[in-house]
Amino acid sequence: METTISPQSVYPDYPYNLLSAIRGNTTLELPHSLTKDVLAGLHYALSTLEDREREIIMGRFQEGLPLDDLAAELDISDERVRQIQVKALRKLREPCRWNYISLGIAGYCKSRATAEYNKGFSKGYADGYRHGRMDQENNIAHSYGPDDLLAQPIEYLNLSTRAQQCLFLRGCETVGDIVRLTEETIRTTRNLGKKSADEIARKLQAVGAKGSAWDQFLL
């Protein structure tokens, strides 16, 4: 059964007292419920602290030991115990630890995966829009080939080293990048001779990428 955590309360018992201390006067949001995953995230975050920091945190919040008892046990001053506690709590507020505490291990990993997916989707959409605008500006109306073909890396064409290097220097990474080059761009590509241009044009036609400016370079 999940235990609900109310952000307005101050907790006398572990781990509620620790979560409240970590949040302190910040705007951090406490976990909505104390699930096994959230507890696992808390334990992981604690494991990243230095040994003495973790010992003091557990002594203070799990065992309820006063400062002077911990100081005597560790043979350091009360003030030093307090300083280490403050430093450890500050570390636990850092996103690299707090995200595991607030979301749990599985919850945080899922959150990161979703964020990376959205980031990749946005980049893909932006790249597609950019290529579309380039085609429009160059008055190109076409279907060079199926999307899965255009997404293939340059190596898919099995070009000679010279031809492939010329395309790399032009910033081409995929078949789609190659077929979108304009005639002027192709002609001004460094070290790209007629023979290499013909090779690229024939390789593109062989895989079904037709209708591009490369067709004009067939010998």
CATH number at residue 75: 1.10.10.10
* Res. 9 pLDDT band, cuts 50 70 90: very low
Q: Is 33 helix (H, G, I), strand (E, B) or coil?
A: strand
Whole-number pLDDT of residue 205: 87
Query: Which tens digits make up the pLDDT trace of 25-59?
Result: 999 999 888 899 999 999 999 999 999 999 999 99
| Residues 166, 205 within the same domain | yes
Range of the domain at 80: 3-110
Question: One-letter amino acid identity for 51?
Answer: D
The maximal CA–CA distance of the chain, rounded, in angstroms, is: 89
The tens digit of pLDDT for each residue in 142-182 reads 445 566 778 888 888 888 988 988 898 888 888 888 988 88
Distance CA 156, CA 150 (A): 10
Same domain, yes or no: 7 and 102 = yes
CB neighbours of residue 195 within 10 Å: 12
User: Does a structural domain hold residue 59?
Assistant: yes
Give the CATH number of the domain where residue 187 resides: 1.10.150.20
What global pTM score does this model have?
A: 0.50
How many domains would you assign to the chain? 2
Helix axis angle, 78-93 to 95-103, nearest 10°: 70
Residues 31 and 101: their CA atoms lie apart, in Å, by 8
Structure letter (DSSP) for residue 32: S
Following DSSP, what letter does each residue of 45-95 receive, concatenated?
A: HHHTS-HHHHHHHIIIIIS---HHHHHHHHTS-HHHHHHHHHHHHHHHHSH
Q: What is the CA radius of gyration of the chain?
A: 30
pLDDT at 3: 43
